[in-house]
Amino acid sequence: MDHATMAHGGEGSGTSRLPANETMNHGAMIGLGGETTLMVHGYAWGVYTDQTGPRGDEKVYVQSMAMATVTTPFEGGKFTAQTMLSLEPAMRHDGYPNLFATGEVAYGQPLVDRQHPHDLFMELSARVDLDLAPDVTAFVYGGPVGEPALGPSAFMHRASARYNPEAPITHHWFDSTHITYGVVTGGIAAKSFQLEASAFRGREPDEHRWNIETPKLDSWSVRASFAPSPAYLLQASYGHLKEPEEQHPGEDENRFTASAHFNDGKELSAMAAFSSKNRQPGETLTAWLGEVNWDIDRHHTLFGRVENVANDELFPDHLDPLHDRKFRVSKFQAGYAYRLPLGPANLALGGTIAAFAKPNALDAAYGSNPMGYTLFAKLSFGD
């Protein structure tokens, strides 16, 4: 079996799939002798953001990620080991301003209108694929830090979001499990489909991001992916998470996600997704997400994202009259990047602008027309 052609096309984060046309995460390939290869890629991303209104803030910060994957085939299968690291823990615990984003805590308080940094160890995992038939394998994946079979590929691994410097405000609906301490996944993979199930730790990482937290297997998920052609990937997943949020002790979560991904293999990539998370006990909160990236030519890229989410975490103070009230908010974001190839590296210079739609009841907290702006320089290697 040709594992090179089968396994690398359409790989997303963890064990997730993307359209086979998507090559963003392939990186620079280095031969290590025999058929063993090392793939490396990463980025350093300097960003200035200004979020307006009473809850807004501005900040200069750097996002970063470095990834290395070693793959070696053997008779009847292949073995893969993967690590992904970030220096984002060097940021303050409360990360960067991002209006209407919620989830996790910093300095003991719930994070609201900010996006938390990633952990030093974003992934430490291994995977074994065993041939069952031509272009069909059974696989086992896992490690102390990994990603379970739940949701679409994480946002920083999607070509449709590759130049967007902000995490989605729907991150905790779709891909918040992309850094999970303790994951075991088993499944069946073929060119046109993948079926898988995971056991993993439901609690999200705490605010101390330099360490590896104690792995557990107290939650579960299942996911089905279907690729009708190299340009498309469809996924649906469902999971039960044991107390995922520190700010909601005693509340489990049942999460459903579905997404459709497109990549024409040339210049256009896009995604549309829906998620529903049902707290046990508690509210059912839904979210929609659409994003697109268009490489107009060798240098110019336009991209955008539209989100709509029902959120009840915008007012964490129990004495606030709006505490635990559910508000549906939309974010509309557009951006531009100018790309400069630099040999094995790429430099992208650009910016974004964002507007929001919200209920009038939020005017006192956010102002009547809050906006968000970014300027960025992204230096990437191997993608």
| Per-residue model confidence as pLDDT tens digits over 144-159 | 999 999 999 999 999 9
DSSP string, 281-330: SS-EEEEEEEEEEEE-SSSEEEEEEEEEEEES-S---TTSTTTT--EEEE
Single pTM value for the model: 0.92
**Which contacts (CB < 8 Å, 24+ apart) does range 224-228 have?**
224/193, 224/194, 224/195, 225/16, 225/17, 225/193, 225/194, 225/195, 226/192, 226/193, 227/10, 227/17, 227/19, 227/20, 227/191, 227/192, 227/193, 228/192
Name the DSSP letter for residue 196.
Answer: E
What pLDDT does 292 receive? 98
Residues in the chain with pLDDT values less than 50: 1-8
What lies within 8 Å, CB to CB, of 217 at 6+ separation is 182, 184, 199, 200, 201
Task: Determine the straight-line distance between the first and last CA of the chain, rounded to whole angstroms.
Answer: 26
Other beta carbons within 10 angstroms of residue 197's beta carbon come to: 15
What pLDDT does 3 receive? 47
8 Å CB contact between 56 and 50: yes
| Distance of alpha carbon 279 from alpha carbon 336, whole angstroms | 37
Q: What is the CA radius of gyration of the chain?
A: 20
| Distance of alpha carbon 147 from alpha carbon 156, whole angstroms | 14
What pLDDT does 147 receive? 98
Residue 27 backbone class (left: φ over 0; alpha: ψ -120 to 50; beta: rest): left
| Distance of alpha carbon 80 from alpha carbon 75, whole angstroms | 14
- Strand 268-280 vs strand 284-295: parallel, antiparallel, or unpaired? antiparallel
Buried b (16+ CB within 10 A) or exposed e, 16-30: bbbbbbbbbbebeee
What pLDDT does 7 receive? 42
| Distance of alpha carbon 186 from alpha carbon 138, whole angstroms | 8
